[in-house]
Amino acid sequence: MSIKPSITVMNGPNLNLLGTRKPEVYGHTTLSDVEDLVRADAEKLGLELRFLQSNHEGQLIDWIHETGPAFKAGESIGMVYNPGAHTHYSYAIRDAIEGAQVPVIELHISNVHAREEFRHHSVISPVARGIIVGFGVVGYSLAVRGLYELHEAEVSKNLKPGVRT
């Protein structure tokens, strides 16, 4: 029996309030609902998912550090990360992602570029493998699928997964 490839889906500050906080922007779907939706989609791809959420920057950094060795060991194919407000100022998280050398898809439920000016800049994007913005909670499934497809393409080219082409 082979081990399923895994993806970590990590959520930053305030995403535990999904479904109740600013539903006009983020919708009524809860984080638990998102997990159910994405797990069902991931199962079709033969993926195992690890869902994490914290409002604390240090905890998020620790989880990023854990994902790096799992990726290098071939146990993980990467991370989907919704950094919330950390998008705009957390150089510590940016540096953790860069140091972990794990493919990360940055995800935002809303179109941050159509919102307040301060939301238009991301310190995470330069170290992300890709970005999904503005598709609502469906973006989580798109990000998982995108990370899976990138991994499969790299494997088929006999590249070390995570290497940018």
Question: Do residues 106 and 125 lie in contact, with contact meaning Cβ atoms separated by under 8 Å?
Answer: yes
Question: Do residues 26 and 11 lie in contact, with contact meaning Cβ atoms separated by under 8 Å?
Answer: no
- What is the Cα 108 distance to its own chain's centre? 9
93 is in an annotated binding site: no
- Asked whether the CA dihedral 46, 76, 86, 35 is positive or negative, the reply is positive
55 is in an annotated binding site: no
56 is catalytic: no
From the candidates 26, 81, 140, 148, give the one annotated as an active-site residue: 26
50 is in an annotated binding site: no
129 is in an annotated binding site: no
108 is catalytic: yes
From the candidates 81, 86, 89, 108, give the one annotated as an active-site residue: 108
Cα separation of 85 and 40, whole Å?
28
Catalytic residue numbers?
26, 108
Q: Which residues are annotated as a binding site for substrate?
A: 82, 88, 95, 109-110, 119
Q: Which residues are annotated as a binding site?
A: 82, 88, 95, 109-110, 119
